[in-house]
Amino acid sequence: MKQVYVGMGTDIIHHGHINIIEKARELGEVTVGLLSDEAVTKFSRIPFLEYEERKRILENIKGVSKVVLQKTLDYEENLRKLKPDYVVHGTDWKVGPQKHVRQKVISILDEWGGRLVEPDYTEGISSSGLREALREIGTTPDIRRKMLRRLLSAKPIVRVMEAHNGISSLIVEETKVEAEGELREFDAIWVSSLTDSTAKGKPDTEYVDRTSRIQTISDILDVTTKPIILDGDTGGPIEHFELMVKNMERLGVSAVIIEDKSGLKRNSLFGTEVKQELEDIDVFCEKISNAKKAQVTSDFMIISRIESLIANAGMDEALKRAKAYIEAGTDGIMIHSRKKDGEEIFEFMKEYQKFDYKVPAISVPSSYNQFTEQELIDAGFNIVIYANHLLRSAFPAMKKTAESILTHKRSLEADQYCMSIKEILDILPN
């Protein structure tokens, strides 16, 4: 019997996939090469379903004999191993980011006289369209919560953008850019204390209380599907933090970051212009370990934010704290700095690479923003958070609009600073 190979990144199966499998089945015995999460994220959003779930679905489809892992977008490894007579793929990959992959498949198959068969792309249905529909329906807390750990294992760096209300979270959810043959978007949402407070015209001193912050999270949950990382400030007293963790898990939030400060929390970007009091290491470790015990699911992440560099307490103190927090069971380390040159951040990361046991490292490059994501990856970071940029960019336009209307005593001149009414209506869910 002829051997047929079908590479697929399927998430939710639709009749377009079945058309491909039916065609493949007519040609011989079908092996599906199922793309790993890592491979899918090279050209699309991470699938809603996990790899093992996607595999099980495909294994139970008529005509599929075997499902094997395809680790990369590139087919080479599997093709050389299996030497199929045919590869079957829809015509859609003739253009776009996968066209080079297609070329390579053709030339490898040539080596043993294999052939690429390309049934017509099924019009009227697409995985991205289905995902869109799924967003309208929403997602479950379980699926959303898990998503951050999955992204961490699938992507070189998880890209996170700040949102402070429903509309800004829709921008994080939906903005896409095609650049250098890649489809780029944000992977997750940062619910910042600075921007949540600023949007309410309040200081970033933990004054905006938990009930209010939960309302912001709830507005964001309502209209998005991407995972959420919460800025938990200091986490409050240990007993409160334990409750907060359970609460966030229940909502489907993926992670909370708490900072090792005490007293009246002041925003880190003030640096030492204001009093920045560091929490005692033992107290902070107890907060972490108690919260880890309180946690109900295994997906949720409790991330420790080290403020030693902000408070000018020195590199040794920062490294000592990183070791202690990891020992206490933290799931990630965020190292913060307000220095423009980034030197202390890279020095910290150099030392951090020598640790025997590491957890994901988080960068918040608000000050040292000349560095690219690739440079952060090279330094060893796993998550990058753009912590305040949507709010900061909206504000100047609002100010200009207000000034323009006062100057001209009409709104015509302010149109240039405004989104059209149509655009606003388009961005909102039906």
Active site residues: 204
* Interface residue list for Mg ion (CB under 5 A): 193-194, 231
Residues facing residue 394 across a β-bridge: none
Closest of 360, 398, 394 to residue 380, by C-alpha = 360
Phi and psi (nearest 5°) for 268?
-65, -25
**Alpha helix ranges (H) inside 275-418:** 281-294, 315-327, 343-352, 373-379, 389-408
Q: Considering beta carbons, is residue 114 or 232 the nearer one to Mg ion?
A: 232
> In the complex, what is the shortest distance from the CB of residue 295 to ligand SPV, in angstroms, rounded to a whole number?
22
Selection from ligand SPV, Mg ion, none that 127 binds (CB < 5 to 8 A by kind) is none
Q: Considering beta carbons, is residue 187 or 196 the nearer one to Mg ion?
A: 196
Q: How many other C-beta atoms lie within 10 A of the C-beta of residue 362?
A: 24
> In the complex, what is the shortest distance from the CB of residue 211 to Mg ion, in angstroms, rounded to a whole number?
18
> In the complex, what is the shortest distance from the CB of residue 109 to ligand SPV, in angstroms, rounded to a whole number?
51
Q: Considering beta carbons, is residue 224 or 388 the nearer one to ligand SPV?
A: 388
Closest of 72, 97, 77, 102 to residue 87, by C-alpha = 102
Selection from Mg ion, ligand SPV, none that 269 binds (CB < 5 to 8 A by kind) is ligand SPV
Q: Considering beta carbons, is residue 228 or 364 the nearer one to ligand SPV?
A: 364
For residue 252, give both structure tokens: 């489907």
Tokens 């990183």 correspond to what residue? 322
Query: What is the crossing angle of helices 166-174 and 210-223, to 10°?
Result: 40
Selection from Mg ion, ligand SPV, none that 225 binds (CB < 5 to 8 A by kind) is none
Selection from ligand SPV, Mg ion, none that 268 binds (CB < 5 to 8 A by kind) is ligand SPV
Selection from ligand SPV, Mg ion, none that 276 binds (CB < 5 to 8 A by kind) is none
> How many whole angstroms separate alpha carbon 131 and alpha carbon 126?
9
Residues facing residue 178 across a β-bridge: 183
Q: Considering beta carbons, is residue 4 or 217 the nearer one to ligand SPV?
A: 217
Q: Considering beta carbons, is residue 78 or 330 the nearer one to ligand SPV?
A: 330
* Interface residue list for ligand SPV (CB under 6 A): 192-194, 231, 267-269, 364, 366, 387-388
Selection from ligand SPV, Mg ion, none that 366 binds (CB < 5 to 8 A by kind) is ligand SPV
> In the complex, what is the shortest distance from the CB of residue 168 to ligand SPV, in angstroms, rounded to a whole number?
13
> In the complex, what is the shortest distance from the CB of residue 231 to ligand SPV, in angstroms, rounded to a whole number?
5
Selection from Mg ion, ligand SPV, none that 288 binds (CB < 5 to 8 A by kind) is none
Closest of 100, 21, 113, 127 to residue 67, by C-alpha = 21
> In the complex, what is the shortest distance from the CB of residue 333 to Mg ion, in angstroms, rounded to a whole number?
16
Query: Please, which contacts does 264-270 make with residues 24 or more away whose CB atoms are closer than 8 Å?
Result: 264/205, 264/206, 265/204, 265/205, 265/206, 265/233, 265/234, 266/204, 266/205, 267/193, 267/194, 267/204, 267/205, 268/307, 268/310, 268/336, 268/338, 269/194, 269/338, 269/366, 269/367
Phi and psi (nearest 5°) for 314?
100, 160
Q: Considering beta carbons, is residue 98 or 234 the nearer one to ligand SPV?
A: 234
> In the complex, what is the shortest distance from the CB of residue 220 to Mg ion, in angstroms, rounded to a whole number?
16
Q: 219: Cβ–Cβ under 8 A, 6 or more apart, which residues?
A: 165, 166, 169
Q: How many other C-beta atoms lie within 10 A of the C-beta of residue 428?
A: 10
